Structure 1
Amino acid sequence: MPHLLRRALLLIVLVSPAALHAQAARGHTEPLSIEHMRQRSYPGSTLTTREILPRGANYQRRIVSYQSDGLRINALLTVPTGTPPKGGWPAIVFNHGYIPPDQYRTTERYVAYIDAFARAGFVVLKPDYRGHGNSEGQPSGASYWAPDYTIDVLNAFASLQQHANVNRARIGMWGHSMGGHITLRAMMINAHVKAGVIFAGVVAPYDMILNDLPRWGSSSGPGTRSGMLARYGTPNSNPHVYQMISPNSFLADLKGRPLQLHHGTGDTHVPYSFTKSLAAGLQAARQPHEFFSYQGDDHNLSRNLTVALRRSVAFLKKKL
C-alpha cells in the first residue's frame, strides 16, 4: 500500500470518531436542530383581542395577540359566524412568506387566501412573526437560518388549541415560501399538527438551499446564510449538523400526517426543484402526500390561484 494512502487511512481511523462526536454535540445544541427544538416548550397563551376589524362574508375578523418567548406577538384571526360544530371549528395556522419586516402589515397581502379558508368554515390565525408589524422583538432573518419564527408559529398553534371554539384535534398549517419551510419544520417538532399545505416552499435539504436559493441581500450574523456557513461550513464538509437541522431528514416522523404541495414551474424566487425534492423524500419515506405542479406559473401561483386554493380547502376539510 502506498505510503500516502496508508497515512490517509490512519488519519481517518484516528480523527473521525472525535470529529463525528464533535459534530453530533454541535448538532444537538444548535438552536435549529430538530431534536433541540423538540425539547423546548411552546405553551402559547390566551388570544387577546387588540382590534376588531370589519367582518368578512361569513366570519369575524380581529387582530389578536399571544405570548411567544416572552414577546407579545400579534396575529390576524378569523372565526366563522354561527354555531360551531360539535367539538369546535377546524383551524389553520397560516404562515406567510418572507416580507421585509418594515414593510409588513397585518391586514395586507394574502387576503384572498385567508378569505378562501375562512369562508369554508376554518378558524384562521396568521401570526405576525416577531419584529413584524406591531409584534415585539427583533426580526431574525429567514426561518431556515434561525429558529425564532418557527418558535412564534408553534406558540400560535398552542394558542389556537386554547381557543374555546376550536377543535384542538383538528388544527393544521398552511405555508408559502419561507412559511412553507416553517410549516414543514413545525410538523417535525409538534406531532399534533395534523396536516399541512405548502405553496412554493423552501423545503429542500440544506445543500440545495445553500446552492440554489437566490442570494438576496448581503446581511451577516447568526440568523443569516453567511452566519450559518461561518459556524458550520458547507453541507459537504459538515453533513451531520446539516442533517440534524433539516426537516427533510425527519420525514418518517410524520407517521402518516399528510402534506399537500403546490409549485409553479416558472417560479424565479424559490426553485421548483425544492418541492420536487420534498415530494421524492416523502415518497421514499412512504408518507402520504399530494403534489400539484403548475406549468409556467410564478411564485404566487397567480395564474392558478383559484384552483390551488380550492384544492387546498378540499384537502384540509378532508384531512382535519
Structure 2
Amino acid sequence: MTTLRARDAGRLASAATALVLLVGCSSTPDDDPATSGPAPSSSPSDPAPSEEPAEPDPSEESTEEPTEEPTEEATEEATEQPRPISLAALAQADLTGGGLRLGAVRERTATYTSYDVTFRSTTAGAGTAPLRISGVLNVPSGRGPFPAVVLAHGYIDPAYYVRGQGMTRERGFLAERGFVALHVDYRNHAESTDDPRIETAVRLGYAADVAAAARALAASREVRVDPDRIALFGRSMGGGVMLKALAADPGLFAAGVGWASVSSLEGQNFDHFQRPDAPVDALRAGFRGRHGLPDEDPAFWRGVSPRPVFGDITEPVLMVHGRFDDTCPPPWARATQRALTAAGVDSTLEWYDDGHAFGPAFVAAMDRTVRFLRARMPA
C-alpha cells in the first residue's frame, strides 16, 4: 500500500528473528460480570478526569527506574547487529499483513455489524507460511471509508481465551461512533495459528500481529477503511503491545491509545507479575537458556522494552489510567508518559477515579478516547 510506510530494501533481519513471544501481565477479561456488557448507545457529558496528585505516590520510588547515562559498553552494543530477540530486530523485520476475510456474522445492530474474521500475519520463522490470525471486526453502518482502530487486548490465559475476548465494550463503543474496530486474537489465541517459539521472548509477536491487522484493514476490498486513519488501542498488556508496535513500525498507525498499561520496561513487568509466582529455577527453565532473568541479563530486557526506543515513535499517544489501579501501578503510567515526552512524542496522560478494569469511569474515558482519535484522525 502506498499509504503505508515503505521498508528499506536493505533491512537485514527477517521476521524469524523477532516473532517469538512470552505472555505476561493481566487484564480483567470482559466476561467478568462486573465489567462486561454491551457498549452504551449514548453517553453523558464527559466530566473532567481527576487531576494527578500533587504529592508523589509513595510507591513511585519503588516502581520507577532511574534514568541511566549510556555506558561505553552500551554504545558499542548499539552499533552492532541487534539481538535476534529484540525490538530492534522486530523493527528491521519484513512485517507483513493482509488477506482480511469476513466470516460469520456475530451480531447486527442499528449502527454496526460484527463479523468473525481472519487475516495473515508475519511468519513464525524462516521457511514457514504466514500465520493465520483470528479476530472480531465491527463495521459501522454506511458507505465509508471509515477510520479504524485495531484493538490489542490484555492478558487472558490462552488456554481459556475465546475469540474477541477482552475488549468487547470498547469494540462496540467505537463502532457505534463510526469507527471500524478490529479486535486481534494474537498468535496462540483462539483460532489463530500457534507460534511454537511463544515462550522465548516478550510479546514481540503480538506487536507483529497488530501491525499485520493494520495492513490487512488498509488492503481490504470488503471493508472500506481509510488507510491513513488507522489507530492502535491497547489495554493492560495490550498497552505495552501498542507501544512496541508504534516503536517498531513508525508511520503505520495514525495514533496510539493505552489504557491501564503495563510498564514500558519489561524487566519491571517480569518482576511484578512473573517473579512472585514461581521459583527462580523454574523461571530460568521457562526461558530455555536463551537469556537470563532481568538482574542477570539487563541488556536483553532493555532490548525487548519500548521505553529505550520511544524516540522512534512518530504518532501521538494518549495514556489513560485509573488512580486506584492495583494491577498496573499508577507510577508506571507516569514514568511512561514522562519518558514519551522526553523523547519528543506528543503524549497525554489522563487520570480517572477507577481501577484496572474501568467500571464507573468507562464511558467518560471512552468519550475522551474518541475525542482524541477524531482530533488525530480528522476526516
Please indicate, yes or no, whether the TM-score normalized by the shorter chain is above 0.5. Answer: yes
Cα separation, partners in 2 of 1:144 and 1:290, compared to 1, 3 Å: farther
User: Which residue of the other structure, out of 125, 130, 136, is the alignment partner of 2:193?
Assistant: 136
Of 127, 131, 135, which residue of structure 2 is paired with 1:75? 135
Q: Deviations over 1:111-144 (max 9, x none)?
A: 2211111011111111111221122215876997
Higher helix content, 1 or 2: 1
**Residue 151 of structure 2 corresponds to residue 94 of structure 1:** yes
Partner of 1:171: 230
From 252, 255, 259, the equivalent of 1:195 is 255
* Structure 1 residues 28 and 109, CA gap change in structure 2 (3 angstroms): closer
Structure 2 Cα separation of the partners of residues 252 and 52 of structure 1: 41
> Which is worse superposed, 119-128 or 279-288?
279-288
1:62 aligns with 2:115: yes
Q: CA deviation at 1:245?
A: 2.2
The RMSD of aligned alpha carbons is 3.1
Residue 39 of structure 1 corresponds to: 92
Q: Counterpart amino acid of 1:49?
A: L
CA 1:315–1:142: 2 relative to 1, 3 Å: farther
1:252: which partner in 2? Answer: 311
Amino acid at match of 1:234: P
Residue in 1 that maps onto 2:36? none
- Measure, in 1, the Cα distance between the counterparts of 2:309 and 2:276: 28
**Superposition pairs for residues 1-320 of structure 1, below 5 Å?**
28-31=82-85, 33-68=86-121, 69=123, 70-84=130-144, 88-138=145-195, 145-164=202-221, 165-191=224-250, 192-213=252-273, 215=275, 217-218=277-278, 227=287, 231-234=291-294, 238-255=297-314, 257-295=315-353, 297-320=354-377
Query: In structure 2, do the counterparts of structure 1 residues 146 and 96 end up closer, same or farther at CA, with 3 Å as the change threshold?
Result: closer
Q: Once the 2 structures are TM-superposed, how far is the Cα of residue 71 of structure 1 from its aligned partner? A: 2.0
Kindly indicate whether the alpha-carbon contact (under 8 Å) linking 2:258 and 2:320 is maintained by their aligned counterparts in 1.
yes
How far apart, in 2, do the equivalents of 1:269 and 1:139 lie?
29
Listed as ranges, the gaps of 5+ residues in structure 1 are 1-15
| Alpha-carbon distance change, 252 to 187 in structure 1, aligned in 2, over 3 angstroms | same
Q: Is the 8 A contact 1:23 1:240 kept in 2?
A: no
CA contact (8 A) 2:140 2:176 kept: yes
Distance 1:298 1:215, change over 3 A: farther
Q: Which amino acid aligns with 1:115?
A: G
Greater relative contact order (Cα < 8 A, sep 6+): 2
Q: How many residues align?
A: 297
Which runs of 5 or more structure 2 residues have no equivalent in the other structure?
A: 1-70, 124-129
Task: Please tell me whether Structure 1 or Structure 2 has the larger radius of gyration of its CA atoms.
Answer: 1
Cα offset for 1:20? 5.6
Partners of 1:219 and 1:175 in 2: CA distance: 30
Percent of aligned positions that are identical: 26
Distance 1:138 1:286, change over 3 A: closer
